[in-house]
Amino acid sequence: MSRQTEQSLGELPMESWMSHLPCALWDIPLYHLAIPGSHNAITYCLDMNDRSPVDLTQPDMLQKLDKYMKPLIRPFVYKWAITQEYNIKQQLDCGVRYCDLRIAHRPNDSSSDLYFYHGVYTTLTVETVLMEIRQWLDTHPKEVVILSFSHFLGLSQELHMLLLTTIRKVFISKLCPKMESLTLRNLWTSGYQVIVSYEHNIASYHSDLWPQIPYWWANKCKAEALIEEFEHRKKLGRPGGFFVTGINLTEDLKYICTHPTESLKDMVMSTYPTLLSWVTEQTPGSTVGSLNIIAGDFITESRFVPTVVTLNEKLLKLSS
């Protein structure tokens, strides 16, 4: 294979890279392809107006400080809570095809509106964002997105059912039921564009909800430690279906206190060269050590997406 062909997948138009893949990849299961993903995809619209309390998963101490010292604490929370600055349509245009969606009902909210959250809650409702995804899919009929609904906070059984109703109402016939042969060719033939994975036991009772997708999270604040953790996990073998390798770094209190002027974005952007050179060495597929979905933070602001998409070249080599 010539050097030029090797680079070609990364040079595809990223807003429609799936529809431009070589036909040799149309019959490979989606969970054997390399797919770029967005970690905590909807943090670009966190509530900056102090109306939102910090979310209930935050330490008690932070909740108390936020209550009494909001002007001091809030900027600090935002700096470390925002993981994506581009909106959902821009992320999809950049080539993201997996979205990590964390769903919450705000405390003391008498409405049944659901939001996303990370540190604080978003200003946009879940329904609004799903409608934006739907509109984008209408104009990109051969692109497929995997929406992972997880980390549910404050949802009653009724709210889960309401969310499920919203998902079906928004995506209608685009929603892909659980099926054996999940390939691009099969999805295109059936007009399916949305795979919904749902981290809750109700998923097993609904044919259009896929089970929770395992997410490899290293919980490290240094790139080298994260890579070491994933290399160890790879040796143990990959899950059978979809799974995510999250190359998102996690700050701890010690890191935040020793880098008071920094933000999560500073931390992430400084480590991307190291992380992406590791990603370049990975291989998609079904074998031990192969990867599938790779998710990151601030994914529109580096060569992250083309780097992941290019990995599918290795499947072409295997099949030729």
Q: What is the DSSP code string of the chain?
A: --HHHHHHGGGS-GGGTTTTS-GGGTTSBGGGS-EEEETTTT-TTB--SS-SPBPTTS-HHHHHHHHH-HHHHHHHHHHHH----S-HHHHHHTT--EEEEEEE--TT--S---EEEESEEEEEEHHHHHHHHHHHHHT-TT--EEEEEEEEES--HHHHHHHHHHHHHHHGGGBPPP-S--BHHHHHHHT--EEEEE-SGGGGG-TT-BPPPPEEE---SSHHHHHHHHHHHHHT---SS--EEE------HHHHHH-TT--HHHHHHHHHHHHHHHHHT--BSSSTT-B-EEEESSGGGSSHHHHHHHTTHHHHHHH-
d(CA 42, CA 116) in angstroms, rounded, equals: 7
Sign of CA dihedral 83, 89, 93, 98: positive
Cβ neighbours of residue 299 closer than 8 Å, sequence gap 6 or more: 36, 37, 38, 39, 84, 91, 94, 96, 305
Catalytic residue numbers, as ranges: 39, 118
* Identity of the residue numbered 249: L
Whether the CB-CB separation of 57 and 19 falls below 8 Å is answered with no
How do beta strands 215-217 and 244-246 pair?
A: parallel
